[in-house]
Amino acid sequence: MDSYKVLVVDDEVEFLETLVKRLSKRDLEVHGLDSGEKALEFLEQDYADVVVLDVKMPGMDGIETLRELKKRHPMIEVIMLTGHANMEVAIQGMELGAFDYLMKPMEIDELLYKIQDAHKKKSIQEAKIQMMEKIIEQEE
Amino acid sequence: MVSISKLFNRFFSGKSRYDLADAEEIRTDFKRRYHHFKLLLNSNNKALEIMTEMEEALKGVLPFGMQFVRSRCTAVSTNVWQIVRHLNELAPGRYKALDDRFKEIQTGINPFIKPKELPRNGPLVMPLLTVDTAHVDQVGSKMANLGELKKQLDVNISDGFVITAGAYHRFMEYNDLQAEIDRRIQATDVEDPNQGISLSGSIQQLIINSTLPEDVVEAIEDQYGDLEGRRGKGITVALRSSALGEDMAGVSFAGQYRSELNVSGENILDAYKWIIASKYSHTAMAYRLSRGIRDEGLAMCVGCTGMVDAVSGGVTYSRNPVDREDTSIVINSVWGLPKSVVDGSVASDIFIIDRTEPMRVIRKEIPFKEQKFMCYAKEGVCRMDMVGDKGGLASLAEEQAVELARLASKAEEYYGMPQDMEWAIDHDGSIIVLQCRPLQRTDLRKTRDSVSLSSRELNAPLCEGGLTASPGVSSGSAYIVQKEMDILQFPEGAVLVTSQALPRWAVLLSKAAGVVTEQGSIAGHLANVAREFGVPAIFGIPDIRNILKDGQQITMDADFLNIYDGQIDSLLKDRPSPRNLMEGSPIFEALKGAASKIVSLNLLDPASPAFRPENCKTLHDITRFCHEKSVEEMFRFGKDHHFPERSSKQLYIHVPMKWWILNLDDGFNEEVHGKHVRLENIASIPMLALWDGISAKPWEGPPPVDGKGFMSVMFRATTNTALVPGVRSKFADRNYFMISKNYCSLSSRLGFHFSIIEALVSERDAENYISFQFKGGAADDKRRYKRVLFIGEILEKYDFIINIREDNLIARIEGRDHQFMKDRLKLLGYLTIHTRQLDMIMANEASVNYYRSKIMNDIHDLIK
């Protein structure tokens, strides 16, 4: 699969670094940031295909960040990650458009598969949009 | 520019002009649909996996914590939510009712897993003299009982105060500790002792390093000031845990938490935090885990009372804890503080008192007590060697023993149940009650089975004597434990052999078959927990660590106080099966409640009119419904779509075969425009594996049927003309494969049965699965049932998990590697062909045996 960009957001720096390191070894372009605010700022300047987002963070928490992120960049797929199993928060996240919700600790492969699936969903979506644009051009 | 509505019309008009752009568009749409379908299957598989895990846990054999319950409920909900979302993508608007059903079920799960609401108001501290059992939610049962005894029976207790549940919550909230603690627990495999120990260490550290809020500090300091005012400046105190929930029936909590003795005024605050932290000691965490007790309601209240400089101290049981028929009162007593009785470190005096008035001591044992615990003048306690011959003297006069017995008997009468009372006697000779709680009791065997007694197997025991700390018989290899690190290596099912009956060994009781110690009292914490867990224990066998060799197989009889070499089955045969500690516990009930909304399956028959979203009562129902409908939607879309590339193709091998194929995405090597597809063009890994099995051996034809078998078919034909239940109506008309590169489902009716095989096989081992459903047949119920048993038996040999209900067989296998899955598919392909009409011969033993051995041989050739 072609290379794409993943942004990991987690305030637990040790966990974040490990995750970025391990995902990078799997042929992904990975960036790590330790707050929701920084993630939104980053996405203003740069882009990502898939964002992996911790739910519980000081400052802007994962759910708020997700809400804002989806508002500004609806095409980006977001995978929520949490150390606190909470059914209501999980469903809330899904309703806000998260691609999936994983609980720590998870297998690195499990996360990788989710990232791949999320990216594939995004690619298909983009192909469809492109197609629509092409048709619009033809009709004009 | 075209309007959006025009665009919409174009997309959904169903016109069949296919220029190149359209073809590309349709392919993309197929791709999109297949991706949703695949994600649905992943979630479906995951959801079923978690449901199985929950059902497994509900057997109650293995311990689990609240984190387990919450994380499984959360995971299963998110997966089912995804399933619904993906089905909505495949059929927008068609199954709207599912959203409401999901919400309602989820709302139903919530109360079972929600953290308990904790009492928030109420004072931070309470003087002990104002406390009674009405305050149990604020001060914990231990302190509430003590206050009650003072008020009602006017017993002596030590003056002081209680730091309440309110203060505990203030402290935890002030530092936001609970969320962090839960997070650390979720990240740990709590059953692994290595991880358990470091988790416990890290949480305790976290608590000790946290700051006490100012109002809590002030409240404690005020109370201590008042106590000083009443009892003298610089009075030292004892801090004892009095957690909420300790009064739960059948749960002892013996020795789980820390006590801090003889603490000076300046160190009360630190000692308080130490005791709070001890809620997360390894012993306490392991205990809660194996007893299924929830963490969160368990506020740690702390009693803070003037330190009693005890001349002697001990524990009174108002009844014999291991013999319900024995009405005598049992006292364990030592010189100095009672600490050495409860931690089992020193041999103690035993007084047995007949409770009929006038009470009298009927038996006493006075061993030599080598050491005693004493208070230092300023702070702390120490263990001192006994000097002179005082160690050999009784630590109680008989009159004192009778007085203590009377006190315990009064408490028993007041509470209406046997009591376990800890006390100290001060320099004035007054008895001060330190603690009082219900006594846990078990029973030993009165007589031995005469057969086992006379049996030749009973050689002379390796040793005799000691005290029954916990009754019962058991067998295992001896494992000598000396130091903390030995806990990590302790093997499951071994007999714990050690010198002192220390409370810290309690963590091993969920693993140990029995306990044997050189020292220790039956009134100690370890004995308490052993009785609670139903682990036989003998205390007080001198030199046992040298009598037994590490790893030596032994059988211990704690009722008759014998230890034998080897495993003696005649002694073991009558012992009760081990107690199921999880069942009925709060955490077990939480899981059971949540599972009632999750795992049971009510929507069984897709052909029934009741198979509707509105009738989904559990998450399993939703899962089942959505899976069925998603397959149907995928099938319908492919079949009804007038797009030649993706219409169903007939398999062509030399001639057209009776098998049709629907390509969902990338199931063919190259696009097929005609009616037929050749095997060489199939790219689907699972379909090819299935086909290998289907075509591996020629079918011998229908089995020769005897008269009875034939009659059974005739009979059924008259009662049911359809013969095959109308599952997936149209879909079932032919033998259909739906395929992609990594997916295949095959619905087939061969003979008179109906089967569905579904498989996902890719490089992602964890996502791989095969499910197989088999139903129906032409013969009568009994024969059809026998056939599914016959097939189920074969599948089980090859690692499938099977589930049979009437003539319906469901088999699953998941998470295995590529080759393994391919072999299992081959096997299913073979069975699909070769179990045709076998129901008819199921009543004939000889034929069944013939087919069984033929099939087993064939399979053996097939997958080697």
In this prediction the ipTM stands at 0.91
Tell me what pLDDT residue B706 has: 63
Chain A interface disruption, residue of B8, B10, B39, most A CBs within 10 A: B39
Confidence of residue B836 (pLDDT cuts 50, 70, 90): confident
Confidence of residue B3 (pLDDT cuts 50, 70, 90): very low
Confidence of residue A3 (pLDDT cuts 50, 70, 90): confident
Q: Which two tokens stand for residue B28?
A: 């993309």
The stretch B300-315 carries a mean pLDDT of 94
Mean pLDDT of chain B: 86
Q: Per residue in A27-71, pLDDT tens? A: 889 999 999 999 999 999 999 999 999 998 999 999 999 999 999
Interchain proximity A87–B77, CB inside 8 Å: yes
Sign of CA dihedral B7, B8, B9, B14: positive
The structural domains of chain B, with segments of one domain joined by +, span 4-114+596-638, 119-307, 309-441, 450-567, 648-863
B336 against B836, higher pLDDT: B336
pLDDT value at B348 more than 70:
yes
Q: Name the residue among B202, B340, B203, B200 with its Cα closest to residue B284.
A: B200
Which residue from B42, B67, B106 is facing A91, i.e. has the nearest CB?
Answer: B106
CATH 3.40.50.2300 applies to domain A5-139? yes
Lowest mean pLDDT among B58-62, B698-702, B711-715: B711-715
Q: Looking at beta carbons, which residues of chain B come within 8 Å of A130?
A: none
Lowest mean pLDDT among A49-63, B97-111, B540-554, B732-746: B732-746
B328 and B340 Cβ atoms separated by less than 8 Å: no
Class of domain B450-567: alpha beta
Tell me what pLDDT residue B779 has: 72
Tell me what pLDDT residue B12 has: 47
Cβ-based neighbour number of residue B813 at 10 Å: 22
* CA gap B299, B168 in Å, rounded: 6
Tell me what pLDDT residue B724 has: 40
* CA gap B84, B94 in Å, rounded: 11
Confidence of residue B525 (pLDDT cuts 50, 70, 90): confident
Q: Which percentage of chain B shows pLDDT scores above 70?
A: 90
Q: Per residue in B369-400, pLDDT tens? A: 888 898 988 888 888 888 888 888 999 999 99
Interchain proximity A124–B39, CB inside 8 Å: no
The stretch B193-215 carries a mean pLDDT of 92
Nearest chain A residue to B72 by CA distance is A85
What SS3 class is residue B62? coil
Q: Looking at beta carbons, which residues of chain B come within 8 Å of A14?
A: none
Q: Per residue in B643-696, pLDDT tens? A: 777 778 889 888 888 888 999 889 999 988 888 999 999 999 999 999 999 998
pLDDT value at B79 more than 90:
yes
Q: What is the dihedral of CA B643, B648, B652, B656, to 10 degrees?
A: -110
Q: Per residue in B724-755, pLDDT tens? A: 443 344 444 578 899 999 999 998 876 667 88
Alpha carbon B385 to chain centroid, angstroms: 46
Interchain proximity B24–A131, CB inside 8 Å: yes
* CA gap B526, B507 in Å, rounded: 10
Bond into B606 cis (ω within 30): no
**In the CATH hierarchy, which fold is given to the domain comprising B119-307?**
Dna Ligase; domain 1 (3.30.1490)
| Helices B97-113 + B619-640 axis angle, to 10 | 150
Chain A interface disruption, residue of B81, B177, B295, B817, most A CBs within 10 A: B81
Q: Looking at beta carbons, which residues of chain A come within 8 Å of B202?
A: none
Interchain proximity B78–A105, CB inside 8 Å: no
Tell me what pLDDT residue B34 has: 92
Which residue from A110, A127, A140 is facing B766, i.e. has the nearest CB?
Answer: A110
Which residue carries 């495999």 as its tokens?
A: B189
Interchain proximity B85–A131, CB inside 8 Å: no
Q: Name the residue among B712, B735, B850, B725 with its Cα closest to residue B784.
A: B712
Residue B358 host element (H or E): none
pLDDT value at B719 more than 60:
no
pLDDT value at B407 more than 60:
yes
* CA gap B15, B198 in Å, rounded: 67
B interface toward A at CB cutoff 8 Å?
1-2, 6-7, 10, 21, 24-25, 28-29, 31-32, 35, 39, 42, 67, 70-71, 73-75, 77-78, 81-82, 85, 106, 109-110, 113, 179, 182-183, 186-187, 764, 766-767
The type of residue at B353 is I
Confidence of residue B449 (pLDDT cuts 50, 70, 90): low
Q: Which percentage of chain A shows pLDDT scores above 70?
A: 97
Confidence of residue B578 (pLDDT cuts 50, 70, 90): low
Interchain proximity B187–A104, CB inside 8 Å: yes
Q: Name the residue among A122, A12, A118 with its Cα closest to residue B42.
A: A118
Tell me what pLDDT residue A140 has: 64
Interchain proximity A103–B71, CB inside 8 Å: yes
Nearest chain A residue to B182 by CA distance is A84
B135 and B182 Cβ atoms separated by less than 8 Å: no
CATH 3.40.50.970 applies to domain B309-441? no
Q: Per residue in B608-618, pLDDT tens? A: 899 999 999 99
Q: Looking at beta carbons, which residues of chain B come within 8 Å of A128?
A: 28-29, 32
pLDDT value at B13 more than 50:
no
Residue B196 host element (H or E): helix B193-208
The stretch A77-96 carries a mean pLDDT of 93
